[in-house]
A = this chain, B = another copy of it.
Amino acid sequence: MINFPTKKTVSSNVLNNDNVKKTSSISNRGMSFEKKINESCEYFRTHGLAVIHKKPTPVRIVKVDYPQRSRAKIIEAYYQVASTTDYNGIYKEKYIDFEAKETSRENYLSFDYIHEHQVKHLIDIVKHGGIGFLLIYFKKRDEVYLYDLEDFLALWTIRKEADARKSIPYEDIKEKGTLVKQGFLPQLEILKAIDEKYFK
Protein backbone atom coordinates (compact mmCIF):
# COMPACT_ATOMS: atom_id res chain seq x y z
CA MET A 1 0.00 0.00 0.00
CA ILE A 2 2.68 2.45 0.97
CA ASN A 3 5.30 3.35 -1.54
CA PHE A 4 8.75 2.20 -0.66
CA PRO A 5 11.20 4.73 -2.03
CA THR A 6 14.45 2.79 -2.19
CA LYS A 7 14.03 -0.95 -2.60
CA LYS A 8 11.43 -1.96 -5.13
CA THR A 9 12.20 -5.68 -4.83
CA VAL A 10 10.78 -5.83 -1.35
CA SER A 11 7.09 -6.59 -1.35
CA SER A 12 4.99 -3.62 -0.42
CA ASN A 13 3.24 -5.97 1.95
CA VAL A 14 6.18 -5.55 4.27
CA LEU A 15 4.98 -2.09 4.96
CA ASN A 16 1.37 -3.01 5.30
CA ASN A 17 1.79 -4.68 8.61
CA ASP A 18 1.22 -2.58 11.66
CA ASN A 19 3.73 -4.57 13.63
CA VAL A 20 6.67 -3.94 11.39
CA LYS A 21 8.51 -0.68 11.75
CA LYS A 22 7.72 1.79 9.03
CA THR A 23 9.64 4.58 7.44
CA SER A 24 8.38 7.79 8.91
CA SER A 25 6.38 10.02 6.63
CA ILE A 26 6.85 13.70 6.16
CA SER A 27 3.53 15.29 6.85
CA ASN A 28 1.21 12.76 8.39
CA ARG A 29 0.95 14.57 11.69
CA GLY A 30 2.26 11.63 13.61
CA MET A 31 -0.08 8.98 12.27
CA SER A 32 0.36 6.90 9.13
CA PHE A 33 -2.21 6.98 6.35
CA GLU A 34 -3.00 3.32 6.93
CA LYS A 35 -3.58 3.89 10.62
CA LYS A 36 -5.87 6.81 9.86
CA ILE A 37 -7.94 4.63 7.53
CA ASN A 38 -8.06 1.77 10.03
CA GLU A 39 -9.14 4.01 12.89
CA SER A 40 -11.74 5.69 10.71
CA CYS A 41 -13.14 2.27 9.77
CA GLU A 42 -13.23 1.32 13.42
CA TYR A 43 -15.14 4.52 14.14
CA PHE A 44 -17.63 3.70 11.37
CA ARG A 45 -18.11 0.18 12.76
CA THR A 46 -18.55 1.14 16.39
CA HIS A 47 -21.03 3.84 15.39
CA GLY A 48 -23.02 1.48 13.19
CA LEU A 49 -22.33 3.53 10.05
CA ALA A 50 -20.53 0.96 7.90
CA VAL A 51 -18.63 -2.32 8.20
CA ILE A 52 -15.29 -1.91 6.45
CA HIS A 53 -12.20 -3.91 7.37
CA LYS A 54 -8.62 -4.04 6.23
CA LYS A 55 -7.73 -7.49 5.00
CA PRO A 56 -4.85 -9.16 6.84
CA THR A 57 -1.51 -9.20 5.02
CA PRO A 58 -1.26 -12.60 3.33
CA VAL A 59 1.59 -14.67 4.65
CA ARG A 60 2.79 -18.07 3.44
CA ILE A 61 3.61 -20.07 6.53
CA VAL A 62 6.36 -22.65 6.16
CA LYS A 63 7.38 -23.69 9.69
CA VAL A 64 5.51 -23.57 12.97
CA ASP A 65 7.04 -24.38 16.33
CA TYR A 66 5.22 -25.21 19.57
CA PRO A 67 7.76 -24.17 22.23
CA GLN A 68 5.40 -24.41 25.17
CA ARG A 69 2.84 -26.72 23.61
CA SER A 70 0.35 -23.98 24.30
CA ARG A 71 1.05 -21.39 21.70
CA ALA A 72 2.02 -21.84 18.11
CA LYS A 73 5.06 -19.82 17.06
CA ILE A 74 5.63 -19.25 13.37
CA ILE A 75 9.36 -19.44 12.71
CA GLU A 76 9.45 -19.33 8.93
CA ALA A 77 7.04 -17.43 6.75
CA TYR A 78 7.05 -15.14 3.73
CA TYR A 79 4.97 -12.23 2.57
CA GLN A 80 2.68 -13.01 -0.32
CA VAL A 81 1.26 -10.72 -2.95
CA ALA A 82 -2.33 -9.89 -2.06
CA SER A 83 -4.85 -11.15 -4.60
CA THR A 84 -7.32 -8.40 -3.83
CA THR A 85 -7.40 -4.86 -2.53
CA ASP A 86 -6.72 -3.77 1.04
CA TYR A 87 -10.19 -2.78 2.17
CA ASN A 88 -13.70 -4.01 1.65
CA GLY A 89 -17.03 -3.96 3.37
CA ILE A 90 -20.60 -2.75 3.25
CA TYR A 91 -22.15 0.72 3.42
CA LYS A 92 -25.79 1.62 2.78
CA GLU A 93 -26.42 -1.89 1.45
CA LYS A 94 -23.63 -1.50 -1.11
CA TYR A 95 -20.48 -3.56 -1.37
CA ILE A 96 -17.49 -1.21 -1.03
CA ASP A 97 -13.95 -2.05 -2.17
CA PHE A 98 -10.89 0.13 -2.32
CA GLU A 99 -7.14 0.17 -2.45
CA ALA A 100 -5.23 2.77 -0.47
CA LYS A 101 -2.21 4.37 -2.11
CA GLU A 102 0.18 6.84 -0.62
CA THR A 103 2.72 8.87 -2.52
CA SER A 104 5.49 11.22 -1.50
CA ARG A 105 5.43 12.75 -4.99
CA GLU A 106 3.77 16.10 -5.15
CA ASN A 107 2.35 16.01 -8.65
CA TYR A 108 1.54 12.43 -9.58
CA LEU A 109 0.85 8.88 -8.45
CA SER A 110 3.02 6.42 -10.34
CA PHE A 111 1.41 3.33 -11.89
CA ASP A 112 4.38 1.35 -10.56
CA TYR A 113 2.71 0.86 -7.24
CA ILE A 114 -0.60 -0.33 -8.59
CA HIS A 115 -0.83 -4.05 -9.29
CA GLU A 116 -2.71 -5.41 -12.28
CA HIS A 117 -4.52 -8.03 -10.21
CA GLN A 118 -5.81 -5.29 -7.90
CA VAL A 119 -7.19 -3.35 -10.84
CA LYS A 120 -8.75 -6.52 -12.25
CA HIS A 121 -10.31 -7.19 -8.85
CA LEU A 122 -11.82 -3.69 -8.72
CA ILE A 123 -13.18 -4.06 -12.26
CA ASP A 124 -14.86 -7.35 -11.25
CA ILE A 125 -16.38 -5.70 -8.18
CA VAL A 126 -17.89 -2.88 -10.22
CA LYS A 127 -19.19 -5.39 -12.81
CA HIS A 128 -21.08 -7.15 -10.02
CA GLY A 129 -22.65 -3.92 -8.81
CA GLY A 130 -20.19 -2.87 -6.12
CA ILE A 131 -18.42 0.44 -5.57
CA GLY A 132 -14.69 0.45 -6.35
CA PHE A 133 -12.14 3.23 -6.01
CA LEU A 134 -8.64 4.23 -4.99
CA LEU A 135 -8.04 6.21 -1.83
CA ILE A 136 -5.00 8.32 -2.62
CA TYR A 137 -2.88 10.23 -0.15
CA PHE A 138 -0.56 12.98 -1.30
CA LYS A 139 1.76 13.17 1.67
CA LYS A 140 3.45 16.46 0.88
CA ARG A 141 0.11 18.15 0.31
CA ASP A 142 -1.56 16.25 3.15
CA GLU A 143 -4.55 15.68 0.88
CA VAL A 144 -6.64 12.54 0.47
CA TYR A 145 -8.83 11.82 -2.54
CA LEU A 146 -11.41 9.21 -3.43
CA TYR A 147 -10.63 8.47 -7.08
CA ASP A 148 -13.26 6.40 -8.83
CA LEU A 149 -12.22 3.29 -10.73
CA GLU A 150 -13.68 4.59 -14.00
CA ASP A 151 -11.58 7.76 -13.92
CA PHE A 152 -8.54 5.68 -13.06
CA LEU A 153 -9.16 3.25 -15.93
CA ALA A 154 -9.27 6.07 -18.47
CA LEU A 155 -5.53 6.52 -17.95
CA TRP A 156 -4.61 3.00 -16.87
CA THR A 157 -5.94 1.17 -19.91
CA ILE A 158 -3.74 3.15 -22.30
CA ARG A 159 -0.66 3.12 -20.08
CA LYS A 160 1.28 0.80 -22.41
CA GLU A 161 0.87 2.98 -25.45
CA ALA A 162 4.00 4.83 -26.50
CA ASP A 163 2.84 8.32 -25.71
CA ALA A 164 0.68 7.40 -22.73
CA ARG A 165 1.26 8.62 -19.20
CA LYS A 166 2.99 6.33 -16.71
CA SER A 167 1.30 7.96 -13.79
CA ILE A 168 -1.85 9.78 -12.76
CA PRO A 169 -1.34 13.54 -12.55
CA TYR A 170 -2.33 15.21 -9.30
CA GLU A 171 -4.44 17.66 -11.29
CA ASP A 172 -6.54 14.81 -12.71
CA ILE A 173 -7.09 13.34 -9.27
CA LYS A 174 -7.97 16.73 -7.85
CA GLU A 175 -10.37 17.53 -10.69
CA LYS A 176 -12.19 14.19 -11.01
CA GLY A 177 -11.69 12.82 -7.52
CA THR A 178 -13.54 13.68 -4.34
CA LEU A 179 -11.61 15.33 -1.52
CA VAL A 180 -11.75 13.28 1.69
CA LYS A 181 -11.88 15.72 4.55
CA GLN A 182 -9.59 15.08 7.50
CA GLY A 183 -10.67 15.57 11.06
CA PHE A 184 -10.52 14.01 14.47
CA LEU A 185 -13.36 11.48 14.73
CA PRO A 186 -13.24 10.02 12.19
CA GLN A 187 -9.79 11.01 11.00
CA LEU A 188 -10.87 10.56 7.40
CA GLU A 189 -14.39 11.38 6.24
CA ILE A 190 -14.43 8.46 3.82
CA LEU A 191 -18.18 7.86 4.09
CA LYS A 192 -18.99 11.51 3.36
CA ALA A 193 -16.83 11.30 0.25
CA ILE A 194 -18.64 8.09 -0.79
CA ASP A 195 -21.97 9.84 -0.22
CA GLU A 196 -20.88 12.75 -2.36
CA LYS A 197 -19.61 10.58 -5.19
CA TYR A 198 -22.08 7.66 -5.25
CA PHE A 199 -25.21 8.47 -3.26
CA LYS A 200 -26.12 11.93 -4.49
Number of copies: 2
| A132 to B: closest C-beta gap in Å | 10
Question: Is A157 an interface residue when CB atoms closer than 8 A count as contact?
Answer: no
The segment from A24-32, A64-72, A147-155, A178-186 that touches chain B is A64-72
Would A74 and B77 count as touching, CB distance under 8 A?
Answer: yes
Would A72 and B78 count as touching, CB distance under 8 A?
Answer: yes
1/0 contact string of A11-37 vs chain B (CB within 8 Å): 100100101100000000000000000
Would B125 and A90 count as touching, CB distance under 8 A?
Answer: yes
Q: How large is the interface on A (under 10, 10 to 19, 20 to 34, 35 or more residues)?
A: 35 or more
Within 8 A of B (CB), among A51-102: 51, 53, 55-62, 64, 70-80, 82-84, 88-95
Would B19 and A61 count as touching, CB distance under 8 A?
Answer: yes
Would A75 and B76 count as touching, CB distance under 8 A?
Answer: yes
CB nearest to A21 among chain B residues = B64
The 4 A-B residue pairs whose C-beta atoms are closest, nearest first, are A93-B129, A56-B58, A74-B77, A90-B95
15 contacts between A and B (CB under 8 A): A9-B70, A14-B72, A51-B121, A51-B124, A53-B83, A56-B59, A56-B82, A59-B61, A59-B77, A73-B77, A73-B78, A88-B88, A92-B128, A93-B128, A94-B95
